[in-house]
Amino acid sequence: MFRKHDSENLLLAQADQEVMLQELELGRLREALTRMNGSRLALMRPKKPTPFAFPLIVGRLREKVSTEKLADRVERMLVELERAAQ
């Protein structure tokens, strides 16, 4: 509402500043991006899904039509991943 009718309102400017400093932690974000910019990128193609990929895979499975329950499919995937890790 402020942006539309009173874009110069001091409360709006203060709210923007608080979000940048407190919620987004702009300083930490800047430091992380600077570190990443100086890092070397290593692309890898793992044979099996990594733990970080698991939630993405489950999300995709949720969208697929199947007679198997999602919980059963996730349980089966967990067993396969644990077996592959050993």
Q: Give 39-79 pLDDT, tens digit per residue.
A: 999 999 988 888 888 888 888 877 776 677 878 888 888 88
The answer to whether position 28 is within a domain reads yes
User: Is 44 a member of any domain?
Assistant: no
Q: What is d(CA 26, CA 22) in angstroms, rounded to the nearest whole number? A: 8
Which pLDDT score is estimated for 2? Answer: 66
Q: What confidence score (pLDDT) does residue 65 get?
A: 64
C-alpha to C-alpha distances, 59 to 40, 76, 86, nearest whole angstrom: 30, 15, 25
Is 46 within the bounds of a domain? no
Domain span including residue 33: 2-37
Residue 47 pLDDT: 86
Of the two residues 32 and 11, the one the predictor is more confident about is 32
**Residue 45 lies inside a defined structural domain of this protein:** no
Q: Would you say residue 42 lies in a domain?
A: no
Report the distance separating Cα 80 and Cα 2, nearest Å: 54
Q: How far apart are CA 73 and CA 68, in angstroms?
A: 7
In terms of domains, do 58 and 32 share one? no
pLDDT score recorded for residue 31 = 94
Number of structural domains found in the chain = 2
pLDDT tens, residue by residue, 18-39 = 887 787 788 888 999 999 999 9
